Amino acid sequence: MNNVKAIISHPIFSGLKRHEAEDLAKHCEVLVVPEGQLIMEQGEVSHDMFILIKGSLSIRVENPFGVESEVGVLSREEVFGEMGVFENTARSASIYSKTEAVVLRIPGEGFHKMVEEGQAAMHMLLQHTLNNSCSRLRELDKRLDLLF
């Protein structure tokens, strides 16, 4: 799958014009990830963000005793690794492929350049990421309400 095809096929970028997808594709890489492969590791510092095009991924967190547990699953349309791009911090979890997966990797440098240029694809990606962040916070609030 080439970069432009992967971008155009993804719901986040629906409505993107072909030349806008081509501009985004210049800064991205499509990765085909075999089942069980580590994509990013908890604790590593990375400046890349990812969009899951196809497949499912396991979110795993290692506790202080070195035991790793699955804490969630990512499916198509999910964006992950965005905190590394926005905050330049260590990864809070490891991500493994549960199935063969197709992932779009957006390097942080390319991301920031496209944001500065005001590219339409970045507007769409930022809007999607903001919506997801709000949903995650609302879900966390519900969980906290149950505890207190």
What pLDDT, on the 0 to 100 scale, is given for residue 58? 97
Predicted TM-score (pTM) of this structure: 0.82
What pLDDT, on the 0 to 100 scale, is given for residue 42? 94
Tokens representing 139 are 């879900």
pLDDT digit string (tens) for 15-58?
888 888 888 888 888 899 999 999 999 999 888 999 999 999 99
How many of the other CB atoms lie within 10 Å of CB of 64?
Answer: 5
Instruction: Give the domain CATH number at 25.
Output: 2.60.120.10
Give the Cα separation of 3 and 26 in Å (integer).
Answer: 8
Among 35, 47, 20, smallest CA distance to 111 is for 47
Residue 115 has pLDDT above 70, yes or no: yes
The number of domains in the chain is 1
Tokens representing 134 are 């709000």
Q: Where in the sequence is the domain holding 140, given as residue range(s)?
A: 3-147
Q: Is 53 exposed, middle or buried (0-12, 13-18, 19+ CB in 10 A)?
A: buried
How many of the other CB atoms lie within 10 Å of CB of 43?
Answer: 10
pLDDT digit string (tens) for 69-104?
999 999 887 889 888 788 878 899 999 999 999 999
What pLDDT, on the 0 to 100 scale, is given for residue 125? 85
Among 83, 70, 34, 38, smallest CA distance to 54 is for 34
Q: Could you report how far apart the first and last alpha carbons of the chain are, in Å?
A: 48
What pLDDT, on the 0 to 100 scale, is given for residue 57? 97
What pLDDT, on the 0 to 100 scale, is given for residue 1? 57
